[in-house]
Amino acid sequence: GAGVSQTPSNKVTEKGKYVELRCDPISGHTALYWYRQSLGQGPEFLIYFQGTGAADDSGLPNDRFFAVRPEGSVSTLKIQRTERGDSAVYLCASSFYYTGEISGNEQFFGPGTRLTVL
Amino acid sequence: DQQVKQNSPSLSVQEGRISILNCDYTNSMFDYFLWYKKYPAEGPTFLISISSIKDKNEDGRFTVFLNKSAKHLSLHIVPSQPGDSAVYFCAASALSLGNYQLIWGAGTKLIIKP
């Protein structure tokens, strides 16, 4: 079956521009997560969706970052007025919704979008 | 303040021998732990997980051990194979608190020597 897909794989933009990053989760997964990873570090949580709503957006660094998941499947991460410090690999993951009856919350990741802000 | 720490940036192991990757955590509310493997230019791939009610979980060549009193977990790979060369991340979550986000260590680069 198809895994998590992310587009574009690479995005180069100029400081101050607006970017959108797209994530297609695994079919049947109701939970979707965005992380970003800087060089030499582990991924850093940004936001988590359960269905269409953002259940936890505590990781978004500031109000330039916003994410949507209007139909409970595909999600778009939007970054306004990009800054050089936003350069990173943006990872999307999906999972089944943990209900306590499932053993855990194994998350399955896409290949990431490498964002470079010049 | 790093809640999940992997203190070894890299580890080199002879093919066929055991690889042991270590991870320490500080948050006692973490109750679910996962190991991921990552190749360059790819996303992390789930390897194995363990709940805090267990102290060991095994899947083929991979075994994860959890020592709650020491807030320490380890991943054992035996025997190590060349294809195991990758960066390994441990991650933790506090499911009982409804926190599904994963908190990650910085990773350990494993190099398997032929």
What pLDDT, on the 0 to 100 scale, is given for residue B56? 97
- Asked whether the predicted pLDDT for residue A101 surpasses 60, the reply is no
Q: Please, what is the average pLDDT of chain A?
A: 92
If residue A13 lies in a helix (H) or strand (E), which one and from where to where? strand A10-13
Contact A3, A23 (CB under 8 A): no
What pLDDT, on the 0 to 100 scale, is given for residue B2? 83
Residue A85 — pLDDT band, cuts 50, 70, 90?
very high
Q: Do A42 and B41 touch (CB under 8 A)?
A: no
- Asked whether the predicted pLDDT for residue B23 surpasses 90, the reply is yes
What pLDDT, on the 0 to 100 scale, is given for residue A72? 87
Tracing tokens 């006692």 back to the chain, one arrives at B28
Tell me how far apart the alpha carbons of residues A74 and A34 are, in angstroms, rounded to a whole number.
12
Question: With helix as H, strand as E and coil as C, how does A25-86 read?
Answer: CCCCCCEEEEEEECCCCCCEEEEEEECCEEEECCCCCCCCEEEECCCCCCEEEEECCCCHHH
For residues A10-20, give the mean pLDDT.
Answer: 97
Give DSSP secondary structure letters for B7-37. --SEEEEETTS-EEEEEEE--TT--EEEEEE
β-bridge pairing A108-109 and A31-37 = unpaired
What pLDDT, on the 0 to 100 scale, is given for residue B99? 77
Nearest to B43 among A91, A103, A105 (CB): A91
Q: Do B91 and A105 touch (CB under 8 A)?
A: no
Nearest-Cα distance to chain A for B57, in Å, is: 13
Token pair in block for residue B111: 């190099």
pLDDT tens digits, one per residue of A52-63: 888 899 999 999
**Alpha carbon distances (Å) from B76 to A66, A95, B47, B56, B94:** 39, 25, 12, 11, 23
Task: Give the least confident one: A80-89, A100-109, B24-33, B35-44.
Answer: A100-109
Nearest-Cα distance to chain A for B56, in Å, is: 15
Alpha-carbon torsion angle B109, B90, B105, A107, nearest 10:
110
If residue B102 lies in a helix (H) or strand (E), which one and from where to where? strand B99-104
Q: Do A48 and B41 touch (CB under 8 A)?
A: no
Interface mutation target, options B38, B51, B102, B103, chain A, most CBs of A under 10 Å: B102
Nearest-Cα distance to chain A for B52, in Å, is: 11
Nearest to A42 among B46, B100, B106 (CB): B106
Q: How many CB pairs under 8 A join A and B?
A: 70
Q: Do B43 and A42 touch (CB under 8 A)?
A: no
